[in-house]
Amino acid sequence: MTSAQTGVEPGRCLFVSDVHLDTVAGAAEAQFLALLRTEAPRVEALYILGDLFESWVGDDTPAHPAVIEALAALSASGVGCFVLHGNRDFLLGSGFAERTGCHLLPDPVVREFGGERVLLTHGDALCTDDHAYQELRTTVRDPAWQRRFLALPLATRELLANEARAGSRAHTSRTRPTIMDVNPGAVEAAFRATGARRIIHGHTHRPAVHDTQIDGRPAQRMVLGAWYEQGSCLSYEAGRYHLRALPR
Ligand code: MN
């Protein structure tokens, strides 16, 4: 079948991040499911740059059946679905990938769009001023820690995840906002290490397009917003990017 017959527009991509879906289905879930039904089937690839879920305690969780089903339908229809881990859903694993047809990508990862190398990352690793968070990140990304956690009964993991979320809220409320934004030096280092001139990330919940210079050459950092009050997405088509809010 040609792309005209399937309705897929070649090269068109959609990026979202920080949908933060809760186990109790709410407005964000309804809006995200609508995006998966309407706009997402018309693109070649959907990139979810982390924190799709507010928490993920293991692939054996029965949570979010509608989202799992919708992602599976989208993948089955031929749309490439790519997922990065966020700081909330860093335990998404091969079971999730099998159930949804999504491909888990490492963070950071460089992909090509229209022949341009673009660095995709959740963004938390760039927030190097938040030392307490970076220490926690090192702990929970350790494979041995993850194996021990995943060996606990599901109910225990859910309890611990709720405690971690309360701890995270407390940390966020007492930490200065600038500390929780990306560190300019970390951003520059990421540009230089990869040779990319465009970074797309989420996590900071500060949707914006930042023009910058790296070694005298123009570069751009595109930040996706969170889905707490409204949706946020970035679309790519024929060399152009468009960041937009999705009102509810
Ligand atoms: Mn995040």
Q: Quick: pLDDT tens for 140-182.
A: 999 999 999 999 999 999 999 999 989 988 988 888 888 889 9
Of 144, 140, 142, 53, nearest in space to 102 by CA: 53
Q: What confidence tier does 42 reach under pLDDT thresholds 50, 70, 90?
A: very high
Give residue 1's pLDDT: 46
Q: How many domains are there within the chain?
A: 1
Helix orientation angle between 131-140 and 143-150, rounded to the nearest 10 degrees:
70
User: Percentage of residues in the chain with pLDDT exceeding 70?
Assistant: 96
Give residue 9's pLDDT: 63
Is residue 22 in a domain? Answer: yes
Residues, the chain = 248
CA of 126 to the centre of ligand 1 (A): 11
Is the peptide bond prior to 108 cis by the omega test (within 30 degrees of 0)? yes
Give residue 7's pLDDT: 60
What distance in Å separates the CA atoms of residue 112 and residue 68, rounded to the nearest whole number?
27
Is residue 60 in a domain? Answer: yes
Is residue 4 in a domain? Answer: no
Containing domain of residue 208, as a range? 11-246
Is residue 158 in a domain? Answer: yes
Give residue 179's pLDDT: 84
Question: Looking at per-residue confidence, does 5 or 163 come out higher?
Answer: 163
User: What mean pLDDT value characterizes the chain?
Assistant: 94
CA of 238 to the centre of ligand 1 (A): 29
CA of 133 to the centre of ligand 1 (A): 11
What distance in Å separates the CA atoms of residue 146 and residue 148, rounded to the nearest whole number?
5
Residue 16 has pLDDT above 80, yes or no: yes
Is residue 236 in a domain? Answer: yes
Residue 210's DSSP bridge partners are 221
Residue 5 has pLDDT above 70, yes or no: no
CA of 48 to the centre of ligand 1 (A): 12
Give residue 104's pLDDT: 98
Is residue 2 in a domain? Answer: no
CA of 125 to the centre of ligand 1 (A): 10
Residue 2 has pLDDT above 90, yes or no: no
CA of 86 to the centre of ligand 1 (A): 5
CA of 2 to the centre of ligand 1 (A): 38
CA of 181 to the centre of ligand 1 (A): 11
Q: Which helix (H) or strand (E) holds 13?
A: strand 13-16
CA of 124 to the centre of ligand 1 (A): 6
Give residue 6's pLDDT: 57
CA of 28 to the centre of ligand 1 (A): 16
Is residue 1 in a domain? Answer: no
What CATH number did the domain enclosing 130 receive? 3.60.21.10
CA of 204 to the centre of ligand 1 (A): 7
DSSP 53: B
Per-residue pLDDT tens digits for 22-34: 988 799 999 999 9
What distance in Å separates the CA atoms of residue 234 and residue 93, rounded to the nearest whole number?
25
User: Percentage of residues in the chain with pLDDT exceeding 90?
Assistant: 88
Is residue 86 in a domain? Answer: yes
